[in-house]
Amino acid sequence: MPHHIAVIGAGTIGASWAALFLARGHDVAASDPSPQGEAFARRFIDNAWPTLETLGWVAPGASPSRFRFHKDPTAAADGAAFVQESGPEREEAKVDLFATIDAAAPPDTVIASSSSGLLISRITAKCRRPERCVIGHPFNPPHLIPLVEVVGGDRTSPQAIDAAMAFYRSVGKHPIHIKKEVRGHVANRLQAALWREAIHLVAEGVVSVADADAAVAYGPGLRWALMGPHLTFHLAGGEGGMAHFMSHIGPAVQSWMDDLGAPRLTPEVQQTIVAGVAEEAGTRSIADLQKWRDRKLIDILRAASP
């Protein structure tokens, strides 16, 4: 049965969420304070729709025409069965926005934040019903990348976690439950760890920006599209699996870990990275790179599907 889903904040992330929810057959009411908010969201949805159709993710009866837009987040949240907040990544702004949504949404409705690193326990400081609030952090673009990180706070109920996990599964996402609040959640911290070492190697003159990217994209990145680091190393252990890997390769890996760098993003390091990325991108604009990425993501999603 179609539900009314509210998307509060209809920028790049929110509009992408809206496209996915619409494709799965829901009605979507969105809100964004930007004067161009509605035009941007509708344009994004229209552009994303052919890709969602190509992937076979558009449910019977689903349509972009089931999208409504409101300037007032209260109007969008009114009567919603699920709320996905994707406003600015500023704690103080989210605290006030969550209080507004909490007052407007039905009492049993789960309210999820797309925040990439903030803590839901702090975001809900002014909420009357913090027990129904969670982090539901997607990866960009949400209408394509399956992962959603679900994080509860110190006042979030187990029922809200279960409801959020079930809802995300129902729209084709792959939710994971993060059991303890940490800044940046899990996937972003893993990304940061890898990027930290890539920056260190560039700053030390070991490798260029382009070759550091190639070392991931044409090597472990291809395996990581199918399985994470633990299962990857389980296979690396041969017939003995992870136990064999730990006993035979573990000491070498420990020595690499001990030698990892801890760079600082000084102005000089920042400029080195910016210049290296500009050289790697060449004449390709951001829009060109986004289109190329999305085409390749479709191929990867098709190949990786069970």
**Which residue, 178, 206, 226, sits at the end of a domain?**
178
Tokens representing 240 are 């003995």
Q: Can you tell me the distance from the alpha carbon of 168 to that of 176, in angstroms, rounded to the nearest whole number?
A: 10
Q: Can you tell me the distance from the alpha carbon of 130 to that of 121, in angstroms, rounded to the nearest whole number?
A: 8
Q: Please list, in sequence order, all residues whose beta carbon lies within 8 angstroms of the beta carbon of residue 155, skipping any fewer than 6 positions away.
A: 121, 124, 130, 131
Q: Are residues 197 and 251 in the same domain?
A: yes
pTM comes to: 0.92
Q: Can you tell me the distance from the alpha carbon of 156 to that of 179, in angstroms, rounded to the nearest whole number?
A: 11
pLDDT tens-digit series, residues 159-210 = 999 999 999 999 999 999 999 999 999 999 999 999 999 999 999 999 999 9
Q: Are residues 164 and 213 in the same domain?
A: no
Structure confidence at residue 108 (pLDDT) = 94
Q: Are residues 113 and 207 in the same domain?
A: no
Measured on CA atoms in the order 62, 160, 13, 194, is the torsion positive or negative?
A: negative
Q: Are residues 161 and 221 in the same domain?
A: no
Owning domain of residue 281: 187-304
Structure confidence at residue 2 (pLDDT) = 57
Q: Which residues of the chain have pLDDT under 70?
A: 1-2
Q: Are residues 162 and 209 in the same domain?
A: no
Asked whether the beta carbons of 126 and 99 are under 8 A apart, the reply is: yes
Counting Cβ atoms within 10 Å, is residue 185 exposed (0-12), middle (13-18) or buried (19+)? Answer: buried
Q: Are residues 161 and 226 in the same domain?
A: no
Q: Can you tell me the distance from the alpha carbon of 255 to that of 154, in angstroms, rounded to the nearest whole number?
A: 37
Q: Are residues 29 and 113 in the same domain?
A: yes
**Which residue, 119, 154, 178, sits at the end of a domain?**
178
Asked whether the beta carbons of 174 and 144 are under 8 A apart, the reply is: no
Number of domains in the chain: 2
**Which residue, 149, 178, 207, sits at the end of a domain?**
178
Q: Are residues 172 and 194 in the same domain?
A: no
Q: Are residues 155 and 253 in the same domain?
A: no
Q: Are residues 143 and 198 in the same domain?
A: no
Q: Please list, in sequence order, all residues whose beta carbon lies within 8 angstroms of the beta carbon of residue 80, skipping any fewer than 6 positions away.
A: 4, 5, 6, 29, 105, 106, 109
End-to-end CA distance of the chain: 26
Q: What is the CATH number of the domain that holds 122?
A: 3.40.50.720
Q: What is the CATH number of the domain that holds 194?
A: 1.10.1040.10
Q: Are residues 241 and 194 in the same domain?
A: yes
Q: Are residues 15 and 132 in the same domain?
A: yes
